Amino acid sequence: MPQVTVRLYKQGDKVWCDFKAELLKRYENSAMIDISKSKAFSKIEKQEFNNRIIVSKKSIVEKRAVAGVDNRDMPSVALISSIKAVNKRGEANRKKYAVQVSEAASKSKTLTEVAKRIGKSITFVRRVASEFEIKLPIRNNGNDYLKDVKQA
């Protein structure tokens, strides 16, 4: 595991500053480090702590090491670019259907009818309507009315 520098560690009335140690395990807000090779601790202190201490992630200088960001954890550049391409295609697709959704919404009584008219899912219709502020018909207690998407 990587070697990290700890700014401050307090135990009782003793304080250790700016020492290097090896990272053993990461937790949500802290990290377990190995102090067996650290020169800041005496032999007795190392035995007391069993060669391991748990420190706050805030007290560690190398944020990248404790954040869990290693090269093997990072997605590849190709994967990131393909995700961005899919997002752009989805956005373009919603723009393309915005006119059809608004026309179908004005002619239909229910949201299901709108989805059937344009041949897309209700979720897609709602997403297009919220993105382009289109009023959709909904059924409520047998009464049909147009409801603004922002209020939903």
User: What pLDDT, in 10s, does the model give residues 40-83?
Assistant: 899 999 999 999 999 998 888 877 766 655 445 455 666 667 66
0.85 cut: is pTM over it? no
In a domain, 71, yes or no: no
Whether 26 and 45 have beta carbons less than 8 Å apart is answered as no
In a domain, 114, yes or no: yes
Q: Could you give the number of structural domains in the chain?
A: 2
Whether 34 and 4 have beta carbons less than 8 Å apart is answered as no
pLDDT digits (tens, 9 = 90+) for 94-108: 888 888 888 888 888
Find the domain containing 43 and state its range.
3-66
In a domain, 35, yes or no: yes
